[in-house]
Amino acid sequence: DSGVTQTPKHLITATGQRVTLRCSPRSGDLSVYWYQQSLDQGLQFLIQYYNGEERAKGNILERFSAQQFPDLHSELNLSSLELGDSALYFCASSPYNGGGELFFGEGSRLTVL
Amino acid sequence: ELKVEQNPLFLSMQEGKNYTIYCNYSTTSDRLYWYRQDPGKSLESLFVLLSNGAVKQEGRLMASLDTKARLSTLHITAAVHDLSATYFCAVEDGQAGTALIFGKGTTLSVSS
């Protein structure tokens, strides 16, 4: 158990809908990272927050957004969902504002029908 | 754009055999990470390599880093079934801040 908590574990929804994935980092960690894992794209970095501020952006679609709240939990919002958004979404945390080992949650598996 | 390439992508081994997984990357990073993922599960950190020449060992796995060659290896000694998993290497991308950029992973299957 890494100490990173993600909810929900599984989510099934329809195209065009919007969903929110939630992540609580390990106690004391200030950075949260979101990754998307799919069979064809592998593990893709989406976005990083540190202590409430966006720090780095990867291959995140405009339909996706994220935020980190004062209690350090983070939410990833996915809207206008398409079939291709079906994937496993991981949250990871670290104590640092840059670099270092990441600790991953169990993931949220999103299925878009 | 930072590229991280692993090979092979799929590896079928017999128990007791040795093999090496290679990870090449395109940036001048001196920090490299290895993770293990079981099917449908989370990523578990295996090794953190923080400098040129770093070598870490845990059980039947040994990882090394050559920053000049931009190459890391994960060596498996006398494989056992419990090592069956997907192994990822990851490198810090300075241009994208501090995110780890992952290779596509090497899926290892060990059979008797």
- Min Cα–Cα distance to chain A from B102, Å: 6
B3 touches A at CB < 8 Å: no
- Say if residue A100's pLDDT is above 90: no
Following DSSP, what letter does each residue of A1-67 receive, concatenated?
--S-EEE-SEEEE-TT--EEEEEEPPTT--EEEEEEEETTTEEEEEEEEETTEEEEE-S--TTEEEE
Check CB contact under 8 Å for B88 and A48: no
Q: Tens of pLDDT along B21-35?
A: 999 999 887 789 999
DSSP state of B16: T
What confidence category does residue B95 fall into, taking pLDDT thresholds of 50, 70 and 90? Answer: low
* Residue type (1 letter), B79: A
Q: Tens of pLDDT along A82-91?
A: 999 999 999 9
Report the residue of B32, B43, B45, B56 to disrupt the A interface, i.e. the one with the largest count of A CBs within 10 Å: B43
Residue A5 CB neighbours (<10 A):
16
Note the pLDDT of residue A40. Answer: 84
What confidence category does residue B91 fall into, taking pLDDT thresholds of 50, 70 and 90? Answer: very high
Note the pLDDT of residue A37. Answer: 96
Please give the Cα distance from A103 to A25 (Å, whole number): 9
- Min Cα–Cα distance to chain B from A31, Å: 10
Compute the mean pLDDT over every residue in chain B, rounded to the nearest whole number: 93
- Say if residue A80's pLDDT is above 90: yes
Measured between CA atoms, the residue of chain B closest to residue A87 is B40
Cα distances from B41 to residues A6, A30, B74, in angstroms, run: 13, 24, 21
What confidence category does residue B96 fall into, taking pLDDT thresholds of 50, 70 and 90? Answer: low
Measured between CA atoms, the residue of chain A closest to residue B86 is A42
Note the pLDDT of residue B97. Answer: 62
* CB nearest A98 (choices: B42, B97, B104): B97
- Report phi then psi at B82, rounded to 5: -65, -15
Check CB contact under 8 Å for A55 and B100: no
**DSSP helix/strand/coil, A74:** strand
B95 CB-contact burial (10 Å; exposed 0-12 / middle 13-18 / buried 19+): exposed
* CB nearest B42 (choices: A42, A48, A106): A106
User: What are the tokens at B3?
Assistant: 């590229």
**Which residues from A are below 8 Å from B when comparing CB atoms?**
2, 31, 33, 35, 42-43, 45, 48, 55-58, 90, 92, 96-107
**DSSP helix/strand/coil, B8:** coil
Q: Tens of pLDDT along A11-65?
A: 999 999 999 999 999 999 999 999 999 988 889 999 999 999 999 999 899 999 9
- Min Cα–Cα distance to chain B from A60, Å: 12
